[in-house]
Structure 1
Amino acid sequence: MKNLFFIILLSILIGTIPLFAQNSSESMDQKIEEIIKQLSLKEKLDMCHAQSKFSSKGVPRLGIPEIWMSDGPHGVRAEIAWDDWSHANWTNDSCTAFPALTCLAATFNPELSYKYGKAIGEEARYRKKDILLGPGVNIYRTPLNGRNFEYMGEDPYLASKMVVPYIHGVQENGVAACVKHYVLNNQEHWRDHINVELSDRALYEIYLPAFKAAVQEGNVWSIMGAYNQYRGQYCCHNELLVNKILKRDWEFDGVLVTDWGATHDTKQAALYGLDIEMGTGTDGLTSSSKNAYDNYYLANPLRKMIENGEIDESVVDEKVKRILRLMFRTNMDNSRPFGSMNSQEHFDVAREIAQEGIVLLKNENNFFPIDPETTKTIAVIGENATRMMTIGGGSSELKTIHEISPLEGIQKRFANAKILHAMGYSSGPSAYGRVIPSKLNADSLQSEAIKIAKQADMVLFVGGLNKNHHQDCEGDDRLQFSLPFGQDELLSEILKVNQNTAIVLVSGNAVKMPWISKVKAIAQVWYLGSEAGNAIADILSGDVNPSGKLPFTFPVKLEDNAAHSFGEISYPGDGVNQEYKEDILVGYRWHDTKNIKPLFAFGYGLSYTDFEITNVKTDKKIYQEEDVISITCEIKNTGNLSGKELIQVYVNDVKSSVLRPLKELKGFKKVSLNSGESKSIQIDIPVKDLAFFDDKKMNWKLETGQFKLMIGTSSKNIINTTKIDVE
């Protein structure tokens, strides 16, 4: 019988007997149980921790493959050396760089999220990756968070709706998405140890929903834990977060992967839900035996505890069961496709997402679009006009096959114009974990910028942040809300000699804008990847009508942000603990409820055309808990250009027994209309989605009473308010 089993297993692994695609989950579980019986304790433990920087062991004698992982959410990272963080220097690991996830969120378009996931999944599959370490859905809590650009904004509903199709797209390729960072990794400063304290309502209403959607709607195959602590336990082995919420309540059947170096205790890692440990000790086999892979928490230390009877071997069996299930879905599924890399289709997807994510924030006297056929002198000023933004940023760094700069895109599209360029300022080279000052002379750079600004008919200032340390970068947070590298001062001088100036803002975060009243136009363009310059030129020229909407609020000043309004214990904490004192009032919830005027509101974004929303109504006025509210309206493009508008539905509980925000996003729909065209649209909201989390009963509660449904084009621009009753 034993020989027969090995014949069958070998046939499965080499593909003679098809695996997952043709078998039920029950038969898969039976196979997994049979495999586990054949494994030694050492082989099981080897599967639960790293063997290199980005892989974990298989079992060669049984034909069980290794698991290969790769960063990140915006493209497949270049190959890293086996034992350290240096690049492996392959010549065939250049990828398509897709826009940062802030840009994807700004599209408010789940269909584009699916295209994004499918394309990046194809690239990961072609590169023979089994787990893609992304997407990220941590909530935008402070504009100083260095990693906000990797996430999907401040609203849990938006993040939930955008993460699910991304996961579906990736996993169609037989590659596991790995949603991160579970949970409360909402700042980089002190991320490796800070203990986060917050209410149960804030946890369940704000910070968990996107992860829950990823599990229950996206059927995600893996999740990455966070570095920080929650209520005194590290998130990668947290009894409440992992065992109770993730694996019991949500019935997550995939693998929990630690963030690199985020494991801290053998017993907790074993008992509190960690499945694969990565990055402990940082240097693998190259430093000392202390850092060798066999000394990971889930390796020899756990083996000793099992042999001493402190922990039962069944604990490891549960982890291996999950790992094998992931393998049957990925590298042991012989029906998965082969993938593709750097195709024109992928570049087109990257460009489309970039186009639709760019947000037009200001457009005085229709400064944009600029007519490409009119001969003008355009001064393009700013280091960000030429700086590569796929380099740096931490683990999301990319080695892209090409990156079209903003200057290159503008020069190509505005070939009839005279294009002048000056750096204006310099930030210095990119280096992870430290700042390297620029060696260029700031006064000389500014003088050259002023010189060409005087000569030009208009100035396009391409500024903002970059991927350097203390900017939009993993490892620490921004140190200031203002633009860095003297950009505010430079802009002030430029405006003295040329008032016909517009801003092309490259960033993944909100910034302070002391010059906002003086510039003619502002376009928020994010980090756009391989096709950045082409997409920017598409918008500036009017070839594409902007339709992006802000996925987070721009405060006027930093103190207007909720996390910063309660002092240091709220952000960044005291070095040991941190309290989320704003509770559920994050982002626009805070601004609207406290009546604090934002610089730019959540959901805000201009177009080159105009829209009119009329005839808003619901299918009825009284609803039961099991009902679905159907909201319909008419939308018409009353302008001269084709364009897209985003209809947003916010909800307010008129009389609640607990504090609730003035507005909560509960539905949205993006509509494409030709000039003069009208469409009827319908947005459905399940009544149960109007519930709040009752922290006394530790469950969701829907109160009877009146609710306001507010329909608009941003959290501040409400066009119609309709009242309904819930019985």
Structure 2
Amino acid sequence: MFRKRITLAAILALALTGARAQFNTPVYLDDSKPLKERMEDALSRMTLEEKIAFIHAQSKFSSPGVTRLGIPENWMTDGPHGIRSEVLWDEWDQAGWTNDSCMAYPALTCLAASWNKDMSFLYGKSIGEEARYRNKNVLLGPGVNIYRTPLNGRNFEYMGEDPFLSSKMVVPYIKGVQLNGVAACVKHFALNNQETDRHKVDVEVDDRTLYEIYLPAFKAAVQEGGAWAIMGSYNKYKGQYNCHNQYLLIDILRKEWGFEGVVVSDWGGVHDTRQAIFNGLDMEFGSWTNGLSWSRSNAYDNYYLALPYLEMIRKGEVGTKELDEKVRHILRLSFLTTMNKNRPFGSFGTKEHSDAARNIATEGIVLLQNKNNVLPIDFTKTKKIAVIGENAIKMMTVGGGSSSLKAKYEISPLQGIKNRVGTQAEVVYARGYVGDSSGNYNGVVTGQSLADKRSKAELLEEARNVAKNADIVIFIGGLNKSDYQDCEGYDRTSLGLPYGQDTVISELAKVNKNLVVVNISGNAVAMPWVNEVPTIMQGWFLGSEAGNALAAVLTGDVNPSGKLPFTFPVKLQDNGAHALGEFPGNGQENYKEGLFVGYRYSDKQQIKPLFAFGHGISYTTFEYGKVSADKKTMTATDKITFHVTVKNTGKRAGAETVQLYISDLKSSLPRPVKELKGFEKVQLQPGEEKTVSITIDKAALSFFDAAKHEWIAEPGEFEAIIGASSTNLKSKVAFTLQ
């Protein structure tokens, strides 16, 4: 890959500028000056042509700076789970670098499952350091679109079904990234909840649902996280494409939330010059992504915000007010990133990053079921361990679309188990099923071939025989990151496991009662064998340290503490989008379930989920005391704090996430039965007891009144409910809002 270089003349000019600094330093180069003053000074020095070049791409992942003024280029990189390998200047093909293999971090569903804001900050800081080292100044992530249906192929890149959880987890991630002088570009704004017809689907959703469910995480990213960039989404809303959507980008993002950063298009998400000018877009990327073969000699000059825009200005059809505003936003980005002389240098693929990846992974792994205490593995009784399933050996850092990574290394579950077990027990492996044997995803060639010509019957028979003679069986299956599974561009076609895995699992349960099923996925799956299998673990896509993290939890070196960030329904019809709608629609998708997403729908319909939102068990046990409030009545300007004791009643140290739900007992508008409004993760030694305190204010009691277009907290009776999940509720206390 090549990059444009600043000319020698420009370098000399900058040197001379520095030499004359005490006499005649341009304001934009003086970082002691206020940011807005620097922006205006730089803007005043730019020509019309430089401004137009500034707002659109010059390559697949970069946009021009202003060489004459010493303003560097902007370089983007895909995230949100690692820094994408380099591609050629004008092609999607790999550039063939040998030093761009990154650390692969767990998928964001795993991060959300940690329910740990410190882990989120560590994640952002670590990936930000890698982006900075690779000289990227915009990380295209994190993603915070709401988990509306388990069929969305891109759910693994997001933070679950609850807007409060997503809001609290995204803020530390952004702050960690931006500490490195790298902008977090939060995506995909907004209502990007399916991959089917993603380039044209027009979403219908009422304003109340939009504000209460689908916008809070983006708002938190802007107002609490201070995100420097936002990426528009491919889909439409109110008939307009979201990369140039008046209501979303102007009315809400700019005017209501006060966003001062850059709005970046998704690659190929721009469709109209005039709308792109007036409806809030700042930077255009990926249009006509067949590159230089399109029409004229340079496709980038023919982007919607390139020559077509310039010609409209020259003809007097539009003014330059909007152009200047776009340039201001990008200059702000430059001053915060590439022109910040105090930026750290970053680091890449370090031991610290490896440790971070493993720690995040172990905190996010969720133990769903553990009858008869099959786990953790007891080596006094276990001399042979059977590991079965393709996902025990398949690389998972690749695939899935734009988040596919060229990882520095990846420890498979089988290798991780072997590494940990050592000579304590024999580990034997059987394939069990054949799914996707490819080793080439998004141009990343792994070199791994999983081709196997044996029949399903032969594979099953081998698995049964291996399982019969083992003390414990660990089946590692689930989904992968291939088309129509957990993958950008494709939604799943069913809730069930692919490749006949249900049959394999049921057969294994018949021959060995000590069966553990580890589900590797970013989505909920159906489990028709749930009552046949004693132990089930949700393993996510765990990144470079996947095998080591899984082995640590399986053996009890780490006590599992993850909690589900979304509901596992028994069947699709237990999900509101499928029970009430026609997902994925036919170019039009009506969110008929409204507010009732995930556990909100289960509560309303009194449907028992397979595994509830917030569920996750441990190798120890916890006892909750009765929740209390520091006052019985609060005012609109007041706060109220709830206290509950939690005691570790088992024999192992462990962590428990205390969840606070609020119920409005009487409202003028329909409300969910309860909504998550607080959580805290507490570490406890055996026998240790701590008091957990969670404070809320009026915002936790409010709903969005679309008619008034404002948040309303109605006086009246409320309940604060403490739970270990959305269905495992421990105690509640009533209070009044005056």
Which band: TM-score by shorter chain? over 0.9
Q: 1:499 to 1:521 in 2, by over 3 A?
A: same
Deviation string 1:640-674 (CA, Å, 9 cap, x unpaired) is: 11000011000111010111000100000000000
Q: 2:342 aligns with which of 314, 326, 335?
A: 335
Q: 1:31 to 1:506 in 2, by over 3 A?
A: same
* Residue identity matched to 1:447: E
**Counterpart in the other structure of 1:296:** 303
Q: 1:232 aligns with which of 226, 234, 239?
A: 239
**Equivalent residue of 2:532, what SS?**
coil
8 A contact 1:13–1:332 mirrored in 2: no
Q: 1:451 to 1:13 in 2, by over 3 A?
A: farther
- Give yes or no for the alignment of 1:477 onto 2:515: no
Q: 2:635 aligns with which of 598, 604, 624?
A: 624
Deviation at 1:390, TM superposition (A): 0.3
- Give yes or no for the alignment of 1:198 onto 2:205: yes
Deviation at 1:45, TM superposition (A): 0.9
**Counterpart in the other structure of 1:119:** 126
Q: 1:580 to 1:438 in 2, by over 3 A?
A: farther
* Residue identity matched to 1:440: K
Which residues of 2 match residues 57-136 of structure 1 at below 5 A? Answer: 57-136=64-143
Runs of 5+ unmatched residues, structure 1: none
Distance in 2 (CA, whole Å) between partners of 1:369 and 1:594 is 36
8 A contact 2:399–2:442 mirrored in 1: no
Q: 1:500 aligns with which of 500, 504, 514?
A: 514
Deviation at 1:14, TM superposition (A): 11
Which residues of 2 match residues 145-294 of structure 1 at below 5 A? Answer: 145-289=152-296, 292-294=299-301
- Give yes or no for the alignment of 1:440 onto 2:453: yes
**Counterpart in the other structure of 2:734:** 723
Which residues of 2 match residues 416-435 of structure 1 at below 5 A? Answer: 416-428=424-436, 429=438
Deviation at 1:492, TM superposition (A): 2.2
Deviation at 1:430, TM superposition (A): 5.6
**Equivalent residue of 1:652, what SS?**
strand
8 A contact 1:255–1:275 mirrored in 2: yes
Q: 1:706 to 1:21 in 2, by over 3 A?
A: farther
Q: 2:617 aligns with which of 606, 610, 613?
A: 606
**Equivalent residue of 1:354, what SS?**
helix
Deviation at 1:439, TM superposition (A): 6.1
* Residue identity matched to 1:461: F
Distance in 2 (CA, whole Å) between partners of 1:13 and 1:709 is 64
8 A contact 1:223–1:255 mirrored in 2: yes
Deviation string 1:167-203 (CA, Å, 9 cap, x unpaired) is: 0000000000000000000111111110000010110
Q: 1:587 aligns with which of 577, 598, 610?
A: 598
Deviation at 1:502, TM superposition (A): 1.2
- Give yes or no for the alignment of 1:523 onto 2:523: no
**Counterpart in the other structure of 1:667:** 678
**Counterpart in the other structure of 1:573:** 585
Q: 1:305 to 1:541 in 2, by over 3 A?
A: same
Deviation at 1:64, TM superposition (A): 1.2
Q: 1:662 to 1:169 in 2, by over 3 A?
A: same
Deviation at 1:308, TM superposition (A): 1.7
Runs of 5+ unmatched residues, structure 2: 1-9, 444-448
Normalised by the length of structure 2, the TM-score is: 0.94
**Counterpart in the other structure of 1:460:** 474
* Residue identity matched to 2:250: N
8 A contact 1:426–1:442 mirrored in 2: no
Distance in 2 (CA, whole Å) between partners of 1:75 and 1:179 is 15
Distance in 2 (CA, whole Å) between partners of 1:284 and 1:12 is 41
Residue identity (%): 57
Deviation at 1:623, TM superposition (A): 0.7
**Equivalent residue of 1:725, what SS?**
strand
Distance in 2 (CA, whole Å) between partners of 1:47 and 1:581 is 42
- Give yes or no for the alignment of 1:633 onto 2:647: no
8 A contact 1:669–1:683 mirrored in 2: yes
Q: 2:351 aligns with which of 344, 347, 356?
A: 344
Deviation at 1:78, TM superposition (A): 0.6
8 A contact 1:463–1:504 mirrored in 2: yes
**Counterpart in the other structure of 2:5:** none
- Give yes or no for the alignment of 1:655 onto 2:681: no
Deviation at 1:90, TM superposition (A): 0.3
Q: 1:714 to 1:18 in 2, by over 3 A?
A: farther
* Residue identity matched to 1:356: E
- Give yes or no for the alignment of 1:40 onto 2:47: yes
Deviation at 1:22, TM superposition (A): 8.3
8 A contact 2:666–2:716 mirrored in 1: yes
- Give yes or no for the alignment of 1:396 onto 2:374: no
8 A contact 2:144–2:170 mirrored in 1: yes
* Residue identity matched to 1:269: A
Distance in 1 (CA, whole Å) between partners of 2:461 and 2:675 is 48
Deviation at 1:687, TM superposition (A): 2.1
**Counterpart in the other structure of 2:689:** 678
Distance in 1 (CA, whole Å) between partners of 2:455 and 2:493 is 20
Q: 1:523 to 1:291 in 2, by over 3 A?
A: farther
Q: 1:314 aligns with which of 313, 321, 330?
A: 321
8 A contact 1:54–1:68 mirrored in 2: yes
**Equivalent residue of 1:212, what SS?**
helix
* Residue identity matched to 1:668: F
Deviation string 1:508-556 (CA, Å, 9 cap, x unpaired) is: 0000000110011001010110111111011010111100000000000
Distance in 2 (CA, whole Å) between partners of 1:430 and 1:147 is 20
Q: 1:620 to 1:88 in 2, by over 3 A?
A: same
Distance in 2 (CA, whole Å) between partners of 1:266 and 1:657 is 44
Deviation at 1:288, TM superposition (A): 4.1
Q: 1:12 to 1:490 in 2, by over 3 A?
A: farther
Distance in 1 (CA, whole Å) between partners of 2:29 and 2:144 is 29
Deviation at 1:29, TM superposition (A): 1.5
8 A contact 2:581–2:590 mirrored in 1: no
Q: 1:7 to 1:630 in 2, by over 3 A?
A: same
Normalised by the length of structure 1, the TM-score is: 0.96
- Give yes or no for the alignment of 1:490 onto 2:504: yes
8 A contact 2:27–2:38 mirrored in 1: no
Distance in 2 (CA, whole Å) between partners of 1:619 and 1:315 is 51
* Residue identity matched to 1:714: S
Range 670-679 or range 366-375, more displaced:
366-375
